């Protein structure tokens, strides 16, 4: 059977050809097929083709245009199309056959696979599994009656303090380093270790959140975990109350937490709140231990009071000036 193949062209990242059978499957017909030039075994390529006869101005002739369904092209069946695209007699009488030549247009639409999205980020969960499973643990922390086992490499990667303390310590094969922790309770250390492994905080009981977060901030400062320290600072800003504002101020001063300090100053803006705060035992302790902070708190309050008084006086003087100006204007009229 006589047929002609076009040059290869690319559509949807695939090589294609047009197969033209001038005598068709029957001598009276013309057959056209779209051929997938290359396909791997077991691979399906879904595509649709529209074959159109063109007029002398190279525009598709609607009456001589056919479109396939969405078809699968495989290595075993690479060609799909129309056995009876056009009758030879119809072509000769159509007026689009010039000097035994005619033009065709083939539009190929290839269905592309949906892009595969990368799996969700779960590195923190995977490393967290090392903590819960204690797999490969080579260091043991004893916190009161509780014991926590961990990996020295993880601790050293997260904290420069741990890196200096642990990596230079010789360890015999098959033995673990044992560290006694005396400045943290077990719930605080568990939250601390969880953050080191997962970079996230544990969900805490609202009644314990303030206490644990405050002690976590101290641990974060000790082990140079700046992200944990900042998270704790922002969290503590939401816990500023009359009974603990003095403690918060002392904490902010000692561990250089400017946002927490500002939140405390903002809280004691009113004279009533300041008086309530100064009557607490925490403030009296603050005044004895960190006098500069207690003094700064009072000075800051007085400065704001003077500022408000100046603004109020300026507003009153402005109103008097307006009244005088209005009076003069009325007299002039």
pLDDT tens digits, 79-130: 999 988 888 888 888 888 888 888 889 999 998 876 666 677 777 788 888 8
Give the closest residue to 103 by CA, choosing from 151, 143, 51. 51
pLDDT tens-digit series, residues 245-295: 888 888 888 899 999 988 888 887 754 666 676 667 766 666 666 566 666
Report how far residue 47's alpha carbon sits from residue 68's, in angstroms, rounded to the nearest whole number: 9
Task: Name the residue among 108, 93, 96, 103 with its Cα closest to residue 33.
Answer: 108
Q: What is the pLDDT of residue 58?
A: 87
Query: Can you list the domains of the chain with their CATH numbers?
Result: 4-110 (2.60.210.10), 124-238 (3.30.710.10), 240-333 (1.25.40.420)
> What is the pLDDT at residue 150?
93
Asked if 247 and 290 count as a contact pair (C-beta separation under 8 A), the reply is no
Q: What is the pLDDT of residues 36-79, one digit of tens each?
A: 988 777 778 899 999 999 988 889 988 889 999 999 998 888 89
Say how far apart CA 84 and CA 30 lie, in whole Å: 6
Q: Which of 311, 320, 309, 280 is nearest to 297 (CA)?
A: 280
pLDDT of res. 272: 62
Identify the burial level of 88 via C-beta atoms within 10 angstroms of its C-beta, where 0-12 means exposed, 13-18 middle and 19 or more buried.
middle
Q: How many CB atoms lie within 10 A of CB 39?
A: 17
- Region 172-185: what's the mean pLDDT? 81
Q: What is the H or E stretch that residue 155 is in?
A: helix 152-158
Query: What mean pLDDT comes out for the span 165-185?
Result: 78
For residue 253, CA distances in Å to 70, 87, 134, 188, 262 come to 71, 94, 38, 22, 11
Q: What number is the average pLDDT over the span 193-198?
A: 94
Cα 104 from Cα 33, distance rounded (Å) = 12
pTM over 0.95: no
């Amino acid at each position: 059977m006589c047929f002609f193949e076009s040059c290869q062209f690319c559509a949807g990242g695939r090589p294609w050809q047009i197969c033209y059978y001038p005598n068709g499957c029957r001598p009276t017909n013309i057959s056209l097929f779209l051929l997938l030039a290359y396909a791997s075994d077991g691979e399906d390529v879904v595509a649709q083709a529209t074959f159109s006869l063109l007029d002398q101005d190279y525009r598709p002739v609607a009456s001589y245009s056919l479109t396939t369904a969405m078809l699968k092209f495989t290595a075993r069946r690479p060609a799909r199309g129309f056995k009876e695209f056009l009758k030879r007699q119809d072509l000769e009488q159509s007026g689009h056959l010039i000097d035994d030549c005619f033009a065709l247009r083939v539009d190929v639409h290839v269905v592309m696979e949906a892009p595969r999205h990368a799996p969700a980020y779960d590195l923190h969960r995977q490393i967290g599994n090392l903590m819960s499973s204690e797999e490969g643990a080579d260091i043991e922390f004893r916190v009161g009656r509780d014991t926590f086992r961990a990996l020295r490499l993880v601790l050293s990667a997260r904290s420069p303090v741990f890196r200096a303390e642990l990596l230079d310590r010789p360890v015999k094969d098959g033995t673990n380093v044992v560290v006694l922790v005396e400045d943290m309770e077990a719930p605080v250390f568990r939250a601390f270790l969880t953050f080191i492994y997962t970079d996230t905080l544990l969900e805490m009981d609202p009644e314990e959140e303030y206490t644990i977060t405050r002690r976590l901030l101290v641990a974060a400062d000790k082990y140079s975990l700046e992200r944990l320290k900042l998270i704790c600072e922002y969290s503590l800003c939401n816990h500023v109350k009359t009974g603990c504002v003095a403690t918060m101020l002392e904490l902010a001063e000692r561990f250089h937490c400017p946002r927490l300090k500002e939140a405390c100053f903002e809280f004691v803006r009113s004279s009533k709140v300041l008086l309530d705060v100064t009557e607490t035992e925490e403030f009296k302790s603050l005044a004895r231990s960190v006098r500069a902070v207690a003094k700064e708190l009072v000075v800051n309050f007085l400065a704001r009071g003077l500022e408000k008084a100046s603004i109020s006086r300026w507003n009153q003087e402005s109103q008097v000036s307006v009244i005088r100006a209005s009076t003069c204007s009325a007299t002039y009229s």
